[in-house]
Amino acid sequence: MGLVGIYQARMQIQEVVLDGETLRFRTAAKTFIIPTRDVVEVSWPGRSRFGGGYLRLRTRADQVIKVPGRLQHLVELLIELSRANPQADTNL
Q: Where are the domains of the chain?
A: 2-84
57-86 residue pLDDT tens: 999 999 999 888 888 888 898 899 999 999
Q: For residue 45, is pLDDT > 70?
A: yes
pLDDT of residue 38: 94
Q: 35 - beta bridge partners? A: 22
Query: Domain 2-84's class?
Result: mainly beta
Confidence of residue 55 (pLDDT cuts 50, 70, 90): confident
- The model's pTM is 0.77
54-68 as b/e: b if 16+ CB within 10 A: bbebbbeeeeebebe
Question: CA neighbours within 13 Å on the CB side: how many for 79?
Answer: 4
CB distance 65 to 13 below 8 Å: yes
Question: CA neighbours within 13 Å on the CB side: how many for 11?
Answer: 8
